[in-house]
Structure 1
Amino acid sequence: MEHWLVVALIILLVLLDLAIRAFSLVYVPIDRKPQTATGWLLAIFLIPYIGFILFLVLGSTKLPRSRREKQTEINRYILEQTEGIERVRRDHPWPAWLESITRLNRQLGAMPLVGGNQAELYPHYDDAFAEMTHAVDEARRFVHVEFYIASLDDTTRPFFESLARAQARGVTVRFLMDHWASRSYPYFKDTLAFLDAAGIEWHLMLPLLPMEGKFQRPDLRNHRKILVVDGSVAFTGSQNLIDRSYDTKTNIQRGLRWRDLFARFEGPVVAGINALFVTDWYSETDELLLRESDPVHRADRQDSLDCQVVPSGPGFDGENNLRLFNALLYSAQERVSITSPYFVPDDSMLYAITTTAQRGVEVELFVGEIGDHAMTWHAQRSYYEGLLRAGVKIWLYRAPTVLHAKHFTIDDDVAVIGSSNMDMRSFTLNLEISVMVRGKSFVDALRDVQDDYRAASRELTLDEWLTRPRRSRVFDNVARLTAALQ
């Protein structure tokens, strides 16, 4: 009798295995990119039960329906809050291709191109925190803080104390941080305790709290970094609210220090950046904030900038950041400079970059000599040979600094800065902010930053890359197979 039970169990498992494979072949490719579908099918076929369970938990890139409905509703709010369209300078050198890209961005993310803006770059970690702290100390009405990672440590304490002072003098301070990212760092509980003691209202973004009915795909994350003060000043970029070492013993022992880039904006674009905070606040609290800032009226300077905020993430139907990046790459005529710490492009972006280089445009890519995420770093390296053969110059920022900035420039006309990496995670799984800026003064300033990167980097050549150890090639290529799932 026991023998027949064993045989029956084996037959049942075989049938279940075949059923999983057959179902996966039909269902997994639906509405998924071939790269992503192939990655999931590979996982399911190699480890059928575990792979299939992981697919059920992680396979959907969509936020819950209620959150997507809020995004649709907030898009109408964004349109109502928009001003500065009439201040766009369509003067020389207005690129012929820019009009269609601004229409694309408007169609995808609701935000228009607005003129009359000013911006300043902060390429050094401490300077960015000092300027943000100063801005909060000047606040009179409200402060909106939103960071992927937020941690109260010795480096960030002056900023947190400025928030407490603002709250104490009657300024409304609202604070958002990504739940899963922030809880991974040592001072998470201390950070929440400080905010509570200061009387600051805080909420976790995309919380994973199943006992409270708050759950979605665990690796959908809010990766934005935003600070808005009184609706007149906004900051965004790549820098998280944490020490340059990220407060981990391993990083400190290895001497790792992050290098980031933050930008300070004034003008009508601030309302667009604040609208993203309002969106995320509404998603987490069900509170739709009324407009808290008066229109920004100031005489346009000769070097004023045209800016367009491009939100992206699983709350939108399309991959807004990927479409913007690809459109800009195909529009470039002379020069493209890209900085991305995690460079794991999908097929469309890989073709856009290599095609741009092959048609004679000077293309350079700044990445780190070392990385902090092993699988992503190895997957990134698997693309180097194809890029080098296409004529892309690759600059490796020397260790032990981890180059974490995220920006790129197109010709002498347009730049993009924000929180988005050029990888499949940022395109499909993370909520991101990108700001497209038209203005030679801003592009020149960003080029100065890139010149500093180049001075601290070494150029990777194809000859050098082809002689790397065989084991490195194996690791890189295996990691690439999982790129669409990272």
Structure 2
Amino acid sequence: MEKLYQILALAGVISYWLLVAAVTIRVVVKRRAVSVSLAWIMIIYILPFVGVICYFLFGELNLGRTRAERAKQMFEPYGEWFTQLQQCQAHQPKLLNLQLSQIHDICTNRTSIPALCGNTLSLQDTPDKILLSIIRDIEGATESIRIEFYIWQNGGLIDSVNAALVQAAKRGVKIQILIDSAGSPKFFRSHWYSLMRTSGIDVREALAVNAFRMFFRRLDLRLHRKIITIDDQVGYTGSMNMVDPIYFKQDSGVGQWIDVMVRVTGPTVNILAAIHAWDWEVETGERHLPTFPVCTIETNGALHPIQVVPSGPGMPDHLIQQVLALAINQAQHSVRITTPYFVPSDILLQVINMTAQRGVTVELIIPKKNDSLLVNWASKSFFTELLNAGVKIYQFDGGLLHTKSVVIDQQYCLIGSVNLDMRSLWLNFELTLAVDDDEFTKELYWVQQTYIEQSHLIDSNEWQKRSLFHRALERLFYLFNPLL
């Protein structure tokens, strides 16, 4: 009997190491950043069994067979819809400045989505401004409302949003709401969810989380976009989830979440509606593309061009990373970045460092306290390299700075849902706007300045004096880069 146990134990050990060897080979042959591959190999070997399980769950971008096949089939018809926009009056590529023109070129070549002119933009930088504006627009809706968010949490002004949606549905407005399953579990158990459904609102749970699906789809692949379109005339996007910060994560010890949203009118709203339609079809198989817009602009008016840049499974790989790298690399005078989660790819890190080394003023504003312990320590592992390159790092102390924005030369900007971490750049469904609007960009720059005024500038000499324990934690958590 003892020999049998020994044989079984030996067989188990051999089987496990064969499995580890097979997974290691798979990690190596997958085309990805060398640092990511090395980090996965470290996790697999340092954490026996756990590392292998983590790789099966989180190691590869797996949307699931049904969704992946659906997304592949959708790409051509959606591309044709976007291509039609290139023929409308609002598409004026020859009038774009050089910087946005290059971003436009890469987006049209890879997704067929053009930059469109004739928009109006309003930057909303407080929860009350954002939510009260959304409520007013919902109350004025007559035909359709499309919404998608990562987190939807009831309470405070969100209850007023919910009530406005229920009333709109009773008026006969067609409402489609797509909410991420992992981000909003409490909402799907709430009375508001039931009331919306009984009122005729079509509410769907995106990327449902359960034990069975873990074997067929990567669990941490999330719908992270924030989109609202109303009657295909008014749109919202940005960094804020559908939450009232006064009632959201008050016990997390990081303070109130700080966000901005952009209210847009004009031809670009139809692109936002089409992105919602894409996500809806990936999840449900139902096609609800918006009607083709009448893209006219006033010939004597300002152009206000906007390039919509989406990313996620089924869409061209690394598009937002390419746009970010291109925009930062074009800077001549200044780059100012805000992000709550800073764990950049090697490519973005090199671009940021090189830009600072060219003599461009590069400022990075991140929260001092973070709701993710892993990210908080992993971010710090980049500080020495950034400081040595001349990057100014500010730690915001007025709450959890959740705004995701980049302002280039105070002339144009990027704003949306995209964090500067591997999850946003490689994994999630994300959205950002590249905006060439002088007044809007200056307003965003001013908002970023208010963040700096509530921040502490890290001194390079002081940073070098941190303890060995501090440095060890940075390197330890950096190893978990693929999971962040």
Give the TM bin, normalised by the shorter chain.
Answer: over 0.9
Contact 2:374 2:477 in 1 (8 A): yes
Within 2, Cα distance between the matches of 1:430 and 1:246?
A: 26
Within 1, Cα distance between the matches of 2:423 and 2:374?
A: 13
The corresponding residue for 1:43 is: 43
Within 1, Cα distance between the matches of 2:250 and 2:132?
A: 25
Change (3 A) 1:438 1:73: farther
Within 1, Cα distance between the matches of 2:142 and 2:215?
A: 34
Displacement of 1:213 after TM fit? 10
Within 1, Cα distance between the matches of 2:216 and 2:7?
A: 37
Displacement of 1:411 after TM fit? 1.5
The corresponding residue for 1:455 is: 453
Displacement of 1:43 after TM fit? 1.6
User: Which residues of 2 match residues 42-121 of structure 1 at below 5 A?
Assistant: 42-75=42-75, 76-81=77-82, 82-83=84-85, 86-88=89-91, 95-121=97-123
Within 2, Cα distance between the matches of 1:453 and 1:413?
A: 19
Contact 1:78 1:275 in 2 (8 A): no
The corresponding residue for 2:224 is: 223
Displacement of 1:317 after TM fit? 4.1
Count of aligned pairs: 480
Within 1, Cα distance between the matches of 2:102 and 2:346?
A: 23
Q: Gaps (5+ residues) in structure 1?
A: none
Within 2, Cα distance between the matches of 1:109 and 1:384?
A: 35
Contact 1:235 1:263 in 2 (8 A): yes
Contact 2:150 2:223 in 1 (8 A): yes
Q: Percent identity?
A: 29
The corresponding residue for 1:426 is: 424
Contact 1:416 1:434 in 2 (8 A): yes
Displacement of 1:441 after TM fit? 1.7
User: Which residues of 2 match residues 331-370 of structure 1 at below 5 A?
Assistant: 331-370=330-369
Q: CA-to-partner distance for each residue in 1:193-249, whole Å, 9 max, x for gaps?
A: 232243211001111246699952110000000100000110000000112156345
The corresponding residue for 1:165 is: 167
Change (3 A) 1:45 1:334: same
Contact 2:365 2:394 in 1 (8 A): yes
Change (3 A) 1:236 1:363: same
Displacement of 1:28 after TM fit? 1.1
Q: Secondary structure at the match of 2:49?
A: helix
Contact 1:370 1:402 in 2 (8 A): yes
Within 1, Cα distance between the matches of 2:122 and 2:453?
A: 22
Change (3 A) 1:314 1:245: farther
Contact 1:186 1:248 in 2 (8 A): no
**Aligned letter for 1:103?**
D
Within 2, Cα distance between the matches of 1:6 and 1:211?
A: 32
**Aligned letter for 1:182?**
S
Q: Gaps (5+ residues) in structure 2?
A: none
The corresponding residue for 2:476 is: 478
Q: Secondary structure at the match of 2:62?
A: coil
Q: Secondary structure at the match of 2:129?
A: helix
The corresponding residue for 2:234 is: 233
Change (3 A) 1:444 1:300: farther
Range with bigger deviation, 313-322 or 200-209: 313-322
Contact 2:254 2:400 in 1 (8 A): no
Contact 2:267 2:293 in 1 (8 A): no
Displacement of 1:97 after TM fit? 4.4
**Aligned letter for 1:235?**
Y
Within 1, Cα distance between the matches of 2:174 and 2:129?
A: 25
Contact 2:273 2:289 in 1 (8 A): no
Q: CA-to-partner distance for each residue in 1:55-85, whole Å, 9 max, x for gaps?
A: 1222221312432343344443254255375
Within 2, Cα distance between the matches of 1:464 and 1:167?
A: 58
Within 2, Cα distance between the matches of 1:413 and 1:384?
A: 27
Q: CA-to-partner distance for each residue in 1:149-171, whole Å, 9 max, x for gaps?
A: 01221231111111111111111
Contact 2:89 2:296 in 1 (8 A): no
The corresponding residue for 2:281 is: 282
Displacement of 1:412 after TM fit? 3.3
Displacement of 1:336 after TM fit? 0.7
Displacement of 1:376 after TM fit? 1.0
User: Which residues of 2 match residues 158-237 of structure 1 at below 5 A?
Assistant: 158-183=160-185, 185=186, 188-209=189-210, 216-237=217-238
Contact 2:411 2:442 in 1 (8 A): no
Within 1, Cα distance between the matches of 2:174 and 2:430?
A: 25
Contact 1:225 1:238 in 2 (8 A): yes
Range with bigger deviation, 407-416 or 274-283: 407-416
Within 1, Cα distance between the matches of 2:51 and 2:94?
A: 55
Q: Does 1:256 align with 2:255?
A: yes
Displacement of 1:15 after TM fit? 1.5
Displacement of 1:306 after TM fit? 0.8
Q: CA-to-partner distance for each residue in 1:408-430, whole Å, 9 max, x for gaps?
A: 01123321111010100101121
Q: Does 1:304 align with 2:303?
A: yes
Contact 2:338 2:364 in 1 (8 A): yes
Q: Does 1:464 align with 2:462?
A: yes
Displacement of 1:294 after TM fit? 4.7
